[in-house]
Amino acid sequence: MNRPDPDCPAGGPGPVDLGALAPRRAFLDRLPAIGRQAADRPPEDPLLEAARSFVPVAAALAILAWIAGGSAIDASGAITLAAGAPDEQRAFVALGGVRVGEAP
Amino acid sequence: MPDASTRTAPASLVRRAQAGEAQAVADLVQRCARAVHAIALAHLGRIADAEDTTQTVLLVAIERLGSCRDPDRFEAWLFAIARNRARRALIRRRLRDVIGIDGPDDAAPGEVDPDTRRALIRALGALSTVQREVVLLHDLEGYTHAEIAGAIRISEEASRQHLSRARRTLRAQLAEEIP
């Protein structure tokens, strides 16, 4: 509990034994299978990857236009777009008063 | 605690995995799983949830490995995914229940002392998320401050301070639990 820690200054609090929080044996035993599953997955389509980076911009523009009262804007389409965006950008969309579902 | 030579992912391994070498992908998963688990646990506070999120993070990361442009900074990239997925999982869980960080014990029977695990989980709840990340990576997974700084994008000095405060708080919390 109080072993010296070469990575910390002298006089500082020593480490607490956190060993009980290590991943469970059953999980560690599953890792090779997870590795195989990951290796078998095809890499993401580069086109889809590029589209993903465009999604937040498209969603933000659509929402701004919707807030401005544009009748031709399909808000649900914007929500669908925004659902693929990272959390930070979905928060921006939420600022527009639109509830966005959990991303897939 | 994992050995220093096996816990981090060298850029060469990342590049081989990016090239589609199946063994490299499997090795990458093996090397990174514990650290991802530590990050997920820092956010989620439950072992079972951390395991589920770790699995998801590893699969998503491998699927998107091509978008990791700097293999030398692979861990920072991976941990960003881990934090993002853990936050999503936390939101989903809050919608599902209101038990929070002091949830039911999910230790496998006979594996660890469930009281110790429960006490540690509760004590971790008194820390900030970044303190939990630092203390778990350092004291559980054996990361150095330099490695933590690179992986979670804070300075080495900040990492030292977070660790020191985290340990102090953990000791105080545990002393209250086990007088």
**What radius of gyration do chain B's Cα atoms show?**
16
How far apart, in whole angstroms, are the C-alpha atoms of residue B48 and residue A29?
14
Asked if A102 and B30 come within 8 Å (Cβ–Cβ), the reply is no
Asked if B66 and A44 come within 8 Å (Cβ–Cβ), the reply is yes
pLDDT number for residue A101:
36
Indicate the domain borders of chain A. Answer: 46-95
pLDDT number for residue B63:
87
Q: Give yes or no for a contact between B150 and B78, defined as CB atoms under 8 angstroms apart.
A: no
Show residues of chain A in contact with B84, CB under 8 Å. 86-87
In chain B, residues 115-144 whose CB comes closer than 8 Å to chain A: 116-117, 120-121, 123-124, 135-136, 138-140, 144
pLDDT number for residue A66:
63
Buried b (16+ CB within 10 A) or exposed e, B80-112: bbbbbbbebbbeebeeeeeeeeebeeebeeeeb
How far apart, in whole angstroms, are the C-alpha atoms of residue B133 and residue B135?
6
**What radius of gyration do chain A's Cα atoms show?**
23
pLDDT number for residue B149:
94
The SS3 call for residue A97 is coil
Q: Give the chain B residue whose CA is nearest to the CA of A8.
A: B160
pLDDT number for residue B99:
44
Indicate the domain borders of chain B. Answer: 4-177
What does B75-118 look like in DSSP terms, one character per residue?
HHHHHHHHHHHHHHHHHHHHHH-S-TTS----PPTTTS-HHHHH
pLDDT number for residue B177:
73
pLDDT number for residue A94:
45
* Residue in A15, A31, A41 closest to B167 by CB: A15
Asked if A24 and B145 come within 8 Å (Cβ–Cβ), the reply is no
How far apart, in whole angstroms, are the C-alpha atoms of residue A90 and residue A99?
9
pLDDT number for residue A72:
40
pLDDT in tens for each of the 104 residues of chain A?
344 455 555 566 788 899 999 888 888 888 888 888 877 776 666 666 665 666 666 666 666 666 665 544 455 555 555 555 555 555 454 444 443 333 33
CA distance B88 to chain A (A): 8
Tell me whether B94 touches chain A (CB under 8 Å). no
Show residues of chain A in contact with B162, CB under 8 Å. none
CA distance B68 to chain A (A): 12
Asked if A22 and B144 come within 8 Å (Cβ–Cβ), the reply is no
pLDDT average per 10 residues of sequence, chain B (179 residues): 64 90 90 94 92 93 88 93 92 66 52 84 93 95 93 93 95 80
* Residue in B26, B33, B121 closest to A36 by CB: B26
Show residues of chain A in contact with B93, CB under 8 Å. none
How far apart, in whole angstroms, are the C-alpha atoms of residue B167 and residue B131?
9
